Amino acid sequence: METITHDEVQSTTSSPVQDVEAPRFTRRETLLTMAGVLLVMLLASLDQTIVATAMPRIISELQGFDRYTWVTTAYLLASTVMVPIYGKLSDQFGRKPIFLIGIVLFLTGSAMCGAAQSMNQLIAFRAFQGLGAAALLPIAIAVVGDLFSPRERGKWQGVTGAVFGLSSILGPTVGGWITDNSTWRWVFYVNLPIGIIALLVLIFLMPTLRSKSKDTRIDYIGAALLMAGTIPLMLGLTWAGQEYDWLSWQILGLFAMAIVFMTLFFFYEHMLEKRDAQPIIEPSMFKSSVFSVSVAITMITNIAMFGSILFLPLYAQGVLGISATNSGLLLAPLMLSLILASVISGQLVSRFGRYKWIAFVGMIITVGGMLLLLRLGVSSTQADLIIAMIVLGLGLGFGMSLYTLIVQNSVSAKKIGQATSSLTFFRQIGGSVASAALGSVLLNTYKPAFHNALTTDVKSFFDMIGGHAPGGLGDQLLSSFDNPNILLSTDAQTKTAAFFAKFGPAGKTVYGEILGAVKDGLALGIHNLFLISLGLTIVGFVLLFFLKEVPLRGSSQSQATQEAVAGSEEIANPVLTH
């Protein structure tokens, strides 16, 4: 493995490294700040899962089924666009003011969402909430980078990964309980007491973490170009395969706009950097193979992770027939193993000071979990699903927070916020690609698989009732199964079974065979998604071989040496050891 050592970095510099200690904080300041940071992280990650459970009740009360996806799209658009901007601002003005501004915006948006009187108001208020949410997670993780050396940071990165896993279990459960026992508005109002406590803790007890930079120019043009490139990209990924076909002029036009403006953005940022200005995302960061490879692995594995996790509840409910009374519990085995592995990996990286072997172990276990998912089919049991989820969770947990640590360790202290938010930005883009592209693959795979699974008896039955007549009863009946929603609705199954029962024993037999074909089609579609996810995970595994390892800096590592290590890849002929 290729490793750059601290001593060798120092030997390649032209001047001796001065031993200047990094800023230190009292234990009380550190622990109380981390308590506030973890509360904010729990708040932000819970909000992403708790609202989804209440959405059916919300669209029913506000009469907004036709704008269902916009509630999520508006939030995702605003938060994704602002992530790198907040990261850069926190590097310029300090973490604390930007962090507090984000929390205030988020809590204000939460209160507005809870008070929404129409679907359009809710969509607008969710976008406003997203503007604040963009500051929460990336800056919270950057604060961890400010408070601890990379080696100490590993322990806390494991805890932050556990927070994400915990929210994935609590969110749907709490959202379902609130929706069933109170009004849906409390899924937003519940953010207020938690957020206010975190806000007060951070205001009075968080260290200033003030930026050392005196030059605080804001890159307004870069921010505008980033928004102009990200918004059409996110809209295209959200609408493709659902609102419009992937090759429709609307989607192709949005992607073309995204390419043009993102190209202009990186060209402009490069120009600013050459002038020694302050771009939002410094293109030179991508010259570091540690940073660029970590970003690539994060994006690819995030697509694979979403491709697996997003569709596991659909498989469990639709194919295995597991009750959906509390859908959050379906993923409990995966999330619990993910939490455990995240904490263990954090402890290991802190103890040994190296991360590459941990990344390899996590990726190998993840590949094993993906292979177990591939074995799932119509005849699989709930135990098969649980074993596959546990193995997958262990693999994902090992790498969940690891790449944030790797990226922070690869850049200088003054760029931690920018690097962390950039990684988050690309991770969210990967999640959006997975949601849109893999959802489209499922829909396009299911229909032909369903029709291929229909038996001769079923086809003869539809012929008998006019299956070949366009718009006839048989044609309408058959087209009603072009999506697998019937497997997820007991009420729809009861009504459909009653209709087929009118045709006597033959109708009941045909109904049973149709349900079997729907399950076969859905199982094959999800199997293809697992196959794609496995392929992406293997690509991520291969990329790991190109990831250089910079030993994690300990608490006694001088700030000057940290800067030298972070910039080691820019030295003309770095000395490498094997």
SS3 244: strand
Domain identity same for 313 and 461? yes
Judge whether 4 lies within some domain: no
Judge whether 484 lies within some domain: yes
pLDDT attached to residue 270 = 86
Q: How far, in Å, CA of 557 to CA of 22, rounded?
A: 8
Domain identity same for 268 and 329? no
> Considering only CA atoms, which of 175, 489, 176, 167 is closest in space to residue 332?
167
Domain identity same for 341 and 400? yes
The residues with which 128 forms a beta bridge, in sequence order, are: none
Q: Are 548 and 397 in contact (CB under 8 A)?
A: no
Domain identity same for 135 and 181? yes
Print pLDDT tens along the chain (578 aa). 444 444 433 333 333 333 333 446 677 778 888 888 888 888 888 887 778 767 767 877 887 766 766 787 788 778 888 888 888 888 778 888 888 999 999 999 999 999 999 888 998 999 899 899 888 888 887 888 778 777 777 777 667 767 776 776 777 777 777 877 778 898 899 889 988 988 888 888 787 665 555 555 677 888 888 888 888 888 887 777 767 888 899 999 999 999 999 999 989 988 888 877 778 888 888 888 888 999 899 888 888 887 777 788 778 878 888 765 555 567 778 888 888 888 888 888 888 888 889 999 999 999 999 999 999 988 888 889 999 999 998 998 887 778 888 888 888 777 888 888 888 888 878 877 777 677 778 877 888 888 888 877 777 777 676 544 444 555 566 666 777 777 766 777 777 788 788 778 877 888 888 888 888 888 998 899 899 999 999 999 999 999 988 877 654 344 444 444 444 443 333 333 32
Q: How many CB atoms lie within 10 A of CB 293?
A: 20
CATH number for the domain spanning 164: value is 1.20.1250.20
Q: Domain end: 181, 210, 239, which one?
A: 210
What total number of domains does the chain contain? 3
H or E stretch covering 420:
helix 416-433
Q: How far, in Å, CA of 265 to CA of 267, rounded?
A: 5
- Identity of the residue numbered 59: I
Judge whether 558 lies within some domain: no
161-198 in b/e burial notation, b at 16+ Cβ within 10 A?
Answer: bbbbbbbbbbbbbbbbebbeeeebbbbbbbbbebbeeb
Domain identity same for 237 and 308? no
Domain identity same for 324 and 256? no
pTM of the model: 0.73
Q: How far, in Å, CA of 7 to CA of 242, rounded?
A: 55
Q: What is the DSSP string of 331-360?
A: GHHHHHHHHHHHHHHHHHHHHH---HHHHH
Question: Taking CA 202 as the corner, what is the angle to CA 161 and CA 346, rounded to the nearest 5 degrees?
Answer: 20
SS3 38: helix
Q: How far, in Å, CA of 417 to CA of 425, rounded?
A: 12
Judge whether 11 lies within some domain: no
Q: How many CB atoms lie within 10 A of CB 48?
A: 18
Q: Which residue has the tokens 């119509």?
A: 378
Residues whose CB is less than 8 angstroms from the CB of residue 280 and which lie 6 or more positions away in sequence, other chains included:
84, 85, 87, 88, 219, 222, 223, 226, 269, 418
H or E stretch covering 77:
helix 68-93
Residues whose CB is less than 8 angstroms from the CB of residue 120 and which lie 6 or more positions away in sequence, other chains included:
64, 67
Domain identity same for 301 and 411? yes
Judge whether 16 lies within some domain: no
Q: How far, in Å, CA of 257 to CA of 232, rounded?
A: 7
Domain identity same for 274 and 290? no
Domain identity same for 186 and 51? yes
Residues whose CB is less than 8 angstroms from the CB of residue 95 and which lie 6 or more positions away in sequence, other chains included:
139, 142, 143, 146, 209, 417
Q: How far, in Å, CA of 578 to CA of 573, rounded?
A: 15
Judge whether 225 lies within some domain: yes
Q: How far, in Å, CA of 351 to CA of 292, rounded?
A: 26
Domain identity same for 201 and 244? no
Question: Taking CA 454 as the corner, what is the angle to CA 448 and CA 457, rounded to the nearest 5 degrees?
Answer: 155
Q: What is the DSSP string of 135-156?
A: HHHHHHHHHHHHHS-HHHHHHH
In terms of Cβ atoms closer than 10 Å to its own Cβ (0-12, 13-18, 19+), residue 457 is exposed
- Identity of the residue numbered 26: T
Q: What is the DSSP string of 88-147?
A: HHHHHH-HHHHHHHHHHHHHHHHHHHHT--SHHHHHHHHHHHHHHHHHHHHHHHHHHHHH
Mark residue 276 as left, alpha or beta (left: phi above 0; alpha: psi -120 to 50; beta: remaining): left
Judge whether 323 lies within some domain: yes
Mark residue 558 as left, alpha or beta (left: phi above 0; alpha: psi -120 to 50; beta: remaining): beta
Judge whether 68 lies within some domain: yes
Q: Are 369 and 424 in contact (CB under 8 A)?
A: no
> What is the domain extent for residue 497?
285-550
Q: Domain end: 279, 297, 322, which one?
A: 279
Q: How far, in Å, CA of 538 to CA of 544, rounded?
A: 10
- How many angstroms separate the Cα of 367 from the Cα of each of 162, 435, 536? 21, 20, 10
Q: Are 193 and 177 in contact (CB under 8 A)?
A: no
Q: How far, in Å, CA of 544 to CA of 527, rounded?
A: 26
Domain identity same for 344 and 472? yes
Domain identity same for 120 and 226? no
Q: How far, in Å, CA of 570 to CA of 577, rounded?
A: 17
Q: How far, in Å, CA of 52 to CA of 331, rounded?
A: 15
